[in-house]
Chain A
Amino acid sequence: MAVETHFLPAQARVRTSAMILGAVAVAALLAAPFVVYPVFMMSVLCFALFACAFNLLIGYVGLLSFGHATFFGGAAYFTAHAVKVWGWEPLAGILLGVAGAAVLGLVVGFLAIRRQGIYFAMITLALGQMFAFICLQVPFTHGEDGIQGVPRGHLLGIVDLNDPFAMYYVTLAIFLFGYFTIYRIVHSPFGNILQAIRENERRAISLGYRVDRYKLGAFVMSAALAGLAGGTKAIVFQFATLTDVQWQMSGEVILMTLLGGIGTLIGPAVGAGLVIALQNYLAAYDFPVTVLIGIIFVICVLVFRRGIAGEVLELMKRKSG
């Protein structure tokens, strides 16, 4: 997607301020559960990871996936089932979710990558809907009810995740792990090739790169990380439902990323935080959330395409000349 993105250049001044900001952010996150309701923060962390995983695909490869809920929700189902029905330990359950999401990513990606741009988006949307239909009918998902009452369990048999603080710090650890994984992917040779592909695919092909393989690889990674978010979410909230796999969920994660800043590392997380906060705030009122999401979409697309983090980065760039 020839979208305005802001891949961080290695300018020393930007680096330092970024690291300071990062340290402050981590400190804030560590202190958060003492100030803010832990469940809210965990919700933000799960969706932030989901959005960051989605952003890997749109911001750095240029592919808009309109069916990412498949990986998020699919993993939630796998994890929920493993932990509740098979009695697995939570981390193992989450890893199963990740693996399942990766497999789904392989299948969907393989089909979708055969087309570009708009078609890619439509295909992922259609395949996502197909997966949602399957989820509705397959017995283990319990259809409309979903999988309820997923036990939090004991992490590695030791840490009791029913303690909200323990659950929070585990979630935070998972988020940070996912975030830094994405950081490493983006700043690796693999990531550089992805960027080259996004900027000029023909050139990359003429240079001899198996472009489709790179795209598929990125797709599977993005799906797996979305699965990490989904599996974690199943443990945190202790359920997995159809809402997690529907196109509205795919649309929400797109909004979080757009609002926060496509192609920035931290943007999606910021966007996720904002959207979740808004939804929580509005739950008290009668106002339909869908409409608000639609309005924010329209505004972002028309006048705010860089997103929050994108605008901030642009400001910082202008200041440093």
Chain B
Amino acid sequence: MTDAPLLEVRGLNAWYGESHVLHGVDLDIREGETITLLGRNGAGKTTTLRAIMGILRRREGVIRLRGQDLLKLPLHRVAQAGLGYVPEERGIFASLNVSENLMLPPKVAENGMSVEEIYRLFPNLHERRSSQGTKLSGGEQQMLAIARVLRTGARILLLDEPTEGLAPVIVQRIGDVLVALKERGMTILLVEQNFRFARKVADRFYLMEDGRMVNSFPGREFDAHMDQLHEVLGV
């Protein structure tokens, strides 16, 4: 784990049409770190992920992966560079079954997990592999969404609210999966509103409000920032 950041974001501004939604966002992730973006609904967390990935195209600023500028790249090239995106709505393809959903992403890097490895990590998916993608439970769909991206060999996972709407026991399992991925050296950028979950997996936190970064702190300083968290998150 080197000290130079794997992913660098500087002064990121973004627009949805005429609406200016991100104001000079700065972000660093080092290799193997798990970073969490905290903030309430509408703070700009999802927008930040989409802007980094390149789904949101109207942007200004700097996005660098190992020194390579990502801003001008089309979405599929960003993915090929090693970023993997799991959207909030999961995006399981209804016209494909579990196995087909899983097999869909092309291997864009050598370290893309093989199907066997993935099924070992997600045994319940192996059981359900012939089911229609959308017939799975919420938790299983989330697993599938994460599993899918692992196929591409992405080294940085952008996860948007993976625990949203899931029962506590499933949330626990997802936490276990993330920890297992961390052990494999995966870098994770996580968007979460459930900060208790995030606490367990994240090394560092960024706090967002109204499209801006308002603070950042490492995991061990979490309790020290509780007041600010309560205020900004409104919980």
Verify whether A and B have any Cβ pair under 8 Å.
no
Binding site for B on A (CB under 8 A): none
